[in-house]
Amino acid sequence: MGSIDNETTPKPHVAFLSSPGMGHITPLFELAIRLVTQHDFQVSFLVITTAFTPAQSKYLNANPHPDLHIVDLPPVDMSGLVSDDMELGTRLSLIVQESIRPFRSILSELKGPKLRALVIDIFCTGVFEICNELAIPIYSFFTASGVLFTLSLYLPSMDREVEGDQYVETVKVPGCNPIRIQDLQEPVWNRNSDDYKWYLFHCRRLFMATGIFINTWEDLEPVSLKAVKHEPFFLNIPTPPVHPIGPLVKQIEPAVMVKYEKEMIAWLDKQPKDSVLYVSFGSGGTLTREQLTELAWGLELSRQRFIMVVRKPSDYAAATFFNVGSESDDPRTYLPDGFIERTKGVGLVVSSWAPQVSGIYIF
């Protein structure tokens, strides 16, 4: 028999779809990069352009690869459907719902070999019916912790069994450690909120996936991962095969981060070992002006060494989620007067972003 010509054998073609937000896009895109660079795949990374931020654009286009194709979904007019004060999960779900209306034609127009699979995040479960009709397997990528993952699998059962508007007791997920209600975000326990209803909708559809990737690993969360594999509750649902593939983090920082790196490393090198507190609320975390002032005063009065990542305050909890990276503010305009000067040498204030990849900081 003749040998197979590898040059004419088509590469496996996989598509990705993430909801907006760096916390969702980053792990999916890092998995896409690894499939292309380490496993010789072709990837079509589908981008929801509605509510797209400059930070997302810089990240996705920083390191082009011939087998990783960025495919923009047409933007949609959300002016009559969402508002700035809308709960984040509800807003994300509505944006995805409207953006995937032409999804069938988008998939049919993708260049390259026949699509083998689609990888989505938790807010993109609305594509299951379309992909089922097209016989395209879907893998769900759960980008949060294993603890939240097991709770999310348990949530539909808990919703059926527990009465009342809110969960008021400690949640006992089968085979897992108890979780205090006060340690959970409101969308998981306030059953009257639209966020809860949307999150429950997506959790109920996790079982439709061919498999589930999760951004964690065995040594980090052994209890949760053992429960999913061996606890009768999860075996009887039944839960799709779960694949811990973490940690997936950004391998390369955007260029804007590099200029901060030397300054931060030099500052950290002057501090005693294990002495620095890192304060950050994520790519979409936003504090009100009052909260930010209280945080700044607390850090100053504590005399604790710190690095604090700050963004312009807002009364809307997720205000920066949809515009992060779009502006470079002067922290002096919204931190207490003289705060930066008084804490010089003890603290370091960084506007918008801090580099986290090239240096593994030991505070």
Angle between helix axes 222-230 and 146-161 (nearest 10 degrees) is 50
- DSSP structure class, residue 65: B
Rounded to 10 degrees, the C-alpha dihedral 223/229/231/232 comes to 170
Indicate if 305 and 324 belong to the same structural domain: yes
- The H or E element that residue 76 is part of is none
Query: What is the pLDDT, as a whole number, of residue 125?
Result: 97
Of 180, 210, 244, the position where a domain reaches its end is 244
Indicate if 136 and 52 belong to the same structural domain: yes
d(CA 302, CA 353): 24
Count of domains forming the chain = 2
Indicate if 187 and 225 belong to the same structural domain: yes
Task: Indicate which CATH number applies to the domain containing 53.
Answer: 3.40.50.2000
Encoded tokens for 14: 């996989």
Indicate if 126 and 154 belong to the same structural domain: yes
- DSSP structure class, residue 211: E
Has residue 324 got a pLDDT over 70?
Answer: no
Of 244, 271, 295, the position where a domain reaches its end is 244
Burial (CB count <10 Å: 0-12, 13-18, 19+), residue 222: exposed
Q: Name the pLDDT band for 354 (thresholds 50, 70, 90).
A: low
Could you tell me if residue 67 is inside a domain?
A: yes
Contacts of 173 (CB under 8 A, 6+ apart): 150, 151, 154, 179, 227
Contacts of 20 (CB under 8 A, 6+ apart): 48, 50, 51, 52, 53, 56, 92, 95, 321, 322
Could you tell me if residue 199 is inside a domain?
A: yes
325-337: average pLDDT = 75
What is the per-residue pLDDT across 244-287, written as a single tens digit (0 to 9) for each?
Answer: 998 887 776 555 555 567 778 888 888 998 899 999 887 666 78
Could you tell me if residue 284 is inside a domain?
A: yes
Has residue 363 got a pLDDT over 60?
Answer: no
Q: Name the pLDDT band for 32 (thresholds 50, 70, 90).
A: very high
Indicate if 205 and 292 belong to the same structural domain: no
pTM of the predicted structure, to 2 decimals: 0.84
Residue type, 357: V
> Is 24 a known active-site residue?
yes
Indicate if 330 and 201 belong to the same structural domain: no
Indicate if 20 and 159 belong to the same structural domain: yes
Distances (CA, A) of 300 to 124, 159, 350: 42, 44, 16
What is the per-residue pLDDT across 132-184, written as a single tens digit (0 to 9) for each?
Answer: 999 999 999 999 999 999 999 999 999 998 887 777 788 999 999 999 888 88
Query: What is the pLDDT, as a whole number, of residue 76?
Result: 92
d(CA 320, CA 134): 37
Rounded to 10 degrees, the C-alpha dihedral 175/180/185/190 comes to 100
Catalytic-role residue among 24, 69, 195, 202: 24
**Cβ proximity of 275 and 306 under 8 Å:** no
Could you tell me if residue 34 is inside a domain?
A: yes
Indicate if 157 and 26 belong to the same structural domain: yes
Encoded tokens for 242: 């779960």
Catalytic-role residue among 13, 69, 121, 202: 121
d(CA 27, CA 33): 10
Q: Omega of the bond prior to 238 within 30 degrees of 0, cis?
A: yes
Has residue 77 got a pLDDT over 80?
Answer: yes
Backbone phi, psi, residue 147, to 5°: -60, -50
Query: What is the pLDDT, as a whole number, of residue 142?
Result: 96
In terms of residue numbers, what domain contains 277? 255-351
The CA-CA-CA angle for residues 117, 120, 125, to 5°, reads 110
Could you tell me if residue 179 is inside a domain?
A: yes
Has residue 117 got a pLDDT over 50?
Answer: yes
Rounded to 10 degrees, the C-alpha dihedral 148/209/216/285 comes to -50
Indicate if 64 and 183 belong to the same structural domain: yes
> Is 121 a known active-site residue?
yes
Indicate if 221 and 266 belong to the same structural domain: no
Radius of gyration of the chain (CA): 22
Indicate if 177 and 323 belong to the same structural domain: no
Indicate if 235 and 261 belong to the same structural domain: no
**Cβ proximity of 270 and 305 under 8 Å:** no
Has residue 91 got a pLDDT over 60?
Answer: yes
